[in-house]
Amino acid sequence: MWEFPNIDPVAVSLGPIDIRWYALAYLAGFLLGWWYCQRLADLDEDQRPDKMDIDDFLPWAIAGVIFGGRLGYVAFYNLEYYAAHPAEILMLWEGGMSFHGGALGVVLALLIYPSIHKFSHLRLADLVCACVPLGLFFGRVANFINGELFGRVTNSPLGIVFPRGGPYPRHPSQLYEAALEGAVLFLILFVLVRIDWVRARSGIVTGVFLVGYGLARAFVELFRQPDAHIGFLFGEAVTMGQVLSTPMIVVGLGLVIYAVFRKSAS
């Protein structure tokens, strides 16, 4: 059993203003993602989206993540509560974000922005998806620092007693997610996006991201404690995270098949 490091969730206090590690994780994810996405755009300098397009798309991505993430949490995880307390929907500082909701928000941005500027939706999606694991990594580490979204009770030597998790050691599922959804998925996409054959078939990187995230999330849900107000679904066997990840896997597989078939047929 490991001792929880008990890091202060507040990174810096500037008078009445507290800057939390969670906010810094989002900032780091956006900035590093923007920088890396620009580097990837240079791999095919004669195609759009180019570096200027990436600059212009950044506010769209931020809006999609924040508003989609919040509304997704409200709709998927706590609709009854927020229906009774609608004013609290805008209280982002109180916590409560959904990756799947944020993903839907970014999908909407990916549909609208390239339509306005007349270039490939899938190529922009490939660049963005190659960067997303960076933000996932920092976000899950911030979840660990906050002592939230911890795992189920375990006898594993990796178990940690979380301040809000009772007296028993639990899986540090946030770190499992940081490793799989963040580091491992980033490395897979890092290799794929540098293969000319893959980049020529727009949609493969996006599809692999969807499948990779969905599988990683569904697997870690086996160790993660379900949300207390939701619990297990379908006879105490499935979690909400697994339900929401299943369509990602299906769509991702379909997108990879579509991208390969469409290019090979041309």
Residues 6+ positions from 154 with CB-CB distance below 8 Å: 169, 170, 171, 223
Q: 111 lies in a domain?
A: yes
205 Cβ neighbours under 8 A, 6+ residues apart: 125, 126, 129, 130, 189, 192, 193, 198, 199
Considering the domain boundaries, does residue 58 fall inside one? yes
**Domain annotation covers residue 3:** no
User: How many domains does the chain contain in total?
Assistant: 1
Q: Is residue 201 part of a domain?
A: yes
- The pTM for the full model equals 0.87
| 107 part of a folded domain | yes
Residue 265 pLDDT class (50, 70, 90 cuts): very low
Whether residue 5 is contained in a domain is answered as no
**Residue 4 covered by a domain:** no
In a domain, 1, yes or no: no
pLDDT of residue 137: 96
Domain containing 168: what range?
10-265
Q: Lowest mean pLDDT: which of 40-44, 59-63, 86-90, 127-131? A: 86-90
